[in-house]
Amino acid sequence: MTTEDYEQLRRQMVRQQLRANGVHDERVLSAMYRVPRHEFIPPELRGHAYEDRPVPIGQGQTISQPLMVGHMTQLLALEGTERVLEIGTGSGYQTAILALLAQHVVSVERVEILADRARALLMRLGTGNAAVYAGDGTLGWPGCAPYDAILVTAGGPQVPPALQEQLAPGGRLVCPVGERDVQQLIVVRRTERGLTRSIDMKCVFVPLIGNAGWPDEPPA
């Protein structure tokens, strides 16, 4: 496909998948039009880059479907001045979206080979306000805390306590919580009265592995 072909597919994605299904934040829509999603997908699967479905990226991980990326990003209500923590870098696609919408992004990926790959790709694409680290995302990244927004792109049995501790006053945290095979999005906000929680839509993410997540291997 040509660059023009991919651009046309992105335009259709924004119009038919995102705007038509409840993603109305114009900044989010603009960011998802600008980021070349196909660059974050293995070459042999790039023909599926703009379909509304997850796509495998190797190491047992996926790039989330565009609608889920748009919806979760919209829940953060970013205005452009925020420091954002992302848990689960994966391909780096969500990182690139967040980097267009916030002042600075810290992203933590458990699988080192994916962290290295995403870091190199983001650098090649000129994303200069995102830092990618390899580590246990359930522990957050205390060295850069607090964060105005935290986005978790894997499903865990709970909202990791460390992430809630690293949330700044007025901050928003979006995390899939439930079983290993199905979750619900939980939105946590830090208010003057403390933490509040609300439940959003059902979702399916790869397991959140780590100290405050699932064990690396499911029980037999």
What are the residue ranges spanned by the domains of the chain?
A: 54-203
Specify whether the backbone of 90 is left (phi greater than 0), alpha (psi in -120 to 50) or beta: left
In the chain, what percentage of residues exceed pLDDT 90?
Answer: 95
In the prediction, which pLDDT does 170 show?
A: 96
Catalytic residue, from 64, 91, 107, 198: name it. 64
Band of the pLDDT at 219, cuts 50, 70, 90? Answer: low
CATH classification (class only), 54-203: alpha beta
Q: Is the peptide bond before 56 cis (omega within 30 degrees of 0)?
A: no
User: For the segment 175-210, what is each residue's pLDDT rounded down to a tens digit?
Assistant: 999 999 999 999 999 999 999 999 999 999 999 999
User: For the segment 103-136, what is each residue's pLDDT rounded down to a tens digit?
Assistant: 999 999 999 999 999 999 999 999 999 999 999 9
Handedness of CA 9, 183, 141, 88 (dihedral sign): negative
Model-level pTM?
A: 0.95
Whether 198 sits among the annotated catalytic residues: the reply is no
